[in-house]
């Protein structure tokens, strides 16, 4: 016999459904996931009536939690790719169009990025195809930007950097002073050239001043006077969640 059962109650006329899961727990627990699905866990020994009245006594809290989850879901960038989705590339906004095809390719035309795939229903495949496309673009752009900045800053006595590109969650770039490797976030390809320059200069400056302490920003400012505005732009704009 399944240890799951579905129950519901009404809160101010609104039906609320939850799944009751019987398991070895001491108390009655209510869990609401990111899709607003409610799971209640309780031991086999707890009478259904007790569980029901406990859950209903928490109705207001449940409704409040679900409302805040929904609010959060509306504001966070969705990380899916689908026709109509807004995408960024080199500071410009595009609309994605996904087409079923017997070839796999991505075409940028006007304001549209068309993704041709042999399996349009497989979003993971489409995402992977798009990530490969972004990497290709990044390889066309990042080396030249980093090198230009290096040539400008060479006189500061910095080593020639080795470029690596990685998809990173929290940082635009990193600098390893031991190996001379500068890693640029693949996501940077969505921002404009000035933003990419700003990050390249920032990481190159770390060869001279390792932290963000004394002197760091005065050096950076020499090469990118408007780094602050650029940083602000890139931290708020150009996020498409892909
Ligand atoms: Zn830094």
Centre of ligand 1 from the C-alpha of residue 72, in Å: 30
Centre of ligand 1 from the C-alpha of residue 216, in Å: 9
Centre of ligand 1 from the C-alpha of residue 212, in Å: 6
Q: Which of 31-45, 69-83, 102-116 has the lowest mean pLDDT?
A: 69-83
Domain count within the chain? 2
Q: What is the pTM of this model?
A: 0.70
Domain boundary among 75, 97, 127: 75
**Is the Cβ–Cβ distance between 216 and 168 less than 8 Å?**
no
CA-to-CA separations, 47 to 23, 43, 134, 148, in angstroms, rounded: 13, 9, 56, 72
Centre of ligand 1 from the C-alpha of residue 231, in Å: 12
In this prediction, residue 133 carries a pLDDT of 97
Count the neighbouring beta carbons within 10 Å of the beta carbon of residue 49.
Answer: 8
Centre of ligand 1 from the C-alpha of residue 61, in Å: 42
Could you report the per-residue pLDDT of 94-143, keeping only the tens digit for each?
999 999 999 999 999 999 999 999 988 888 999 999 999 999 999 999 99
208 shares its domain with 99: yes
Mean pLDDT of 179-183: 98
173 shares its domain with 57: no
Mean pLDDT of 158-178: 96
Cα distance between residue 29 and residue 49, in whole Å: 15
Query: What's phi and psi for 179, nearest 5 deg?
Result: -105, 0
Cα distance between residue 200 and residue 115, in whole Å: 30
Count the neighbouring beta carbons within 10 Å of the beta carbon of residue 20.
Answer: 20
Q: Which of 6-10, 29-33, 119-123, 133-137 has the lowest mean pLDDT?
A: 119-123
Centre of ligand 1 from the C-alpha of residue 203, in Å: 6
In this prediction, residue 192 carries a pLDDT of 96
222 shares its domain with 110: yes
CATH number at residue 143: 3.30.2010.10
Domain boundary among 13, 42, 75: 75
Q: Can you read off the two tokens belonging to residue 41?
A: 């866990």
In this prediction, residue 98 carries a pLDDT of 92
Centre of ligand 1 from the C-alpha of residue 209, in Å: 9
Cα distance between residue 171 and residue 11, in whole Å: 44
Centre of ligand 1 from the C-alpha of residue 207, in Å: 10
Centre of ligand 1 from the C-alpha of residue 171, in Å: 9
Taking alpha carbons only, the member of 174, 195, 173, 187 closest to residue 79 is 187
**Is the Cβ–Cβ distance between 173 and 167 less than 8 Å?**
no
Cα dihedral 127→133→139→142 (10° resolution)? -70
| Domain boundaries, position 105 | 88-236
69 shares its domain with 103: no
Centre of ligand 1 from the C-alpha of residue 228, in Å: 13
159 shares its domain with 203: yes
Centre of ligand 1 from the C-alpha of residue 202, in Å: 6
């Amino acid at each position: 016999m399944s240890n799951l059962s579905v129950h519901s109650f009404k809160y101010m006329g609104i039906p609320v459904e939850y799944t009751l899961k019987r398991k070895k727990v001491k108390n009655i627990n209510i869990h609401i996931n990111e899709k607003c699905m409610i799971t209640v866990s309780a031991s086999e020994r707890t009478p259904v009536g007790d569980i029901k009245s406990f859950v209903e006594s928490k109705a207001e809290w449940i409704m409040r939690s679900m409302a805040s989850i929904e609010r959060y879901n509306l504001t966070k960038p969705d990380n899916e790719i689908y026709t109509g989705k807004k995408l960024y590339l080199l500071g410009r906004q595009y609309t994605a169009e996904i087409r079923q095809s017997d070839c796999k390719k991505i075409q940028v035309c006007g304001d549209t990025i068309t993704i041709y795939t042999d399996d349009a229903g497989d979003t993971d495949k489409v995402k992977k195809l798009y990530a490969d496309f972004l990497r290709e673009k990044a390889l066309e752009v990042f080396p030249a930007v980093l090198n230009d900045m290096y040539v400008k800053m060479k006189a500061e006595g910095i080593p020639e950097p080795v470029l690596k590109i990685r998809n990173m969650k929290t940082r635009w770039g990193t600098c390893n002073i031991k190996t001379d490797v500068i890693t640029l976030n693949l996501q940077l390809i969505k921002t404009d050239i000035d933003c990419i320059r700003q990050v390249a200069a920032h990481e190159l400056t770390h060869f001279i001043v390792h932290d963000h302490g004394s002197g760091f920003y005065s050096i950076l400012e020499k090469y990118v006077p408007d780094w602050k505005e650029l940083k602000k732009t890139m931290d708020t704009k150009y996020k498409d969640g892909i």
